[in-house]
Amino acid sequence: MFAFMNSISFIRASLRTGSRATRSLTTSSVAPSLPAVLRLQTGEVFEGRSFGAPRSVFGETVFTTSITSYPESLTDPSYTGQLLAFTQPMIGNYGVPDNRMKGSAREHPLDVDVGCFLESTGVQAAGVIVSELCERFSHFQAYESLASWCARYQVPGIQGVDTRALTTILRNQGSTLGTILVGEDAKRIPTASEFVDPNAENLVKRVSTKVPYTLEPVGGAAASRAHVALLDFGCKANILRSLLRQRVTVTVLPWNTDFNSIRDQFDGLFLSNGPGSPNKVPEAVANVKRVIDEWDRPIFGICMGHQVIGLAAGLRAYRMKFGNRGHNQPVLALGSGNMRVEPGRVYITSQNHGYALAFEESGPDAWPEGWAPWFVNANDWSIEGIVRTGDFDGRAPVWGVQFHPEHAGGPEDTNPLFEDYVEQVVQYKSARSPSLAAQATRSPSAMATAHL
pLDDT, residue 29, reads 60
Q: How far is CA 433 from CA 261, 429, 437, in A?
A: 22, 6, 7
* pLDDT, mean of residues 203-229: 97
Catalytic residue among 144, 406, 419, 423: 406
What's this model's pTM, rounded to 2 decimal places?
A: 0.89
Which is the catalytic residue, given 306, 353, 404, 407?
Answer: 404
Please report which confidence band the pLDDT of residue 436 belongs to, taking 50, 70 and 90 as the band edges.
low
Q: Is the pLDDT of residue 16 over 70?
A: no
Burial pattern 412-428, b for ≥16 Cβ within 10 A else e, equals ebbeebbbbbbbbbbbb
- The pLDDT confidence band at residue 28, using thresholds 50, 70 and 90, is low
What is d(CA 240, CA 249) in angstroms, rounded to the nearest whole number? 10
Residue 406 annotated in active site: yes
Q: Are 109 and 63 in contact (CB under 8 A)?
A: no
Every domain of the chain with CATH number 3.40.50.880 lies at 204-432
Under 8 Å between Cβ of 379 and 353? no
pLDDT tier at 435, thresholds 50, 70, 90: low
Catalytic annotation present for 404: yes
In the three-class reduction of DSSP (H, G, I as helix; E, B as strand; rest coil), residue 140 is classed as coil
34-200 has which CATH code? 3.50.30.20
CB 91 within 8 A of CB 51: no
Is 44 in the active site?
Answer: no
Enumerate the CATH 3.50.30.20 domain ranges in the chain, comma separated: 34-200
pLDDT mean across residues, the chain: 89
What's the pLDDT score for residue 19? 35
Q: Which of 150, 303, 306, 327 is catalytic?
A: 303
What's the pLDDT score for residue 450? 36
**Domain 204-432's class?**
alpha beta
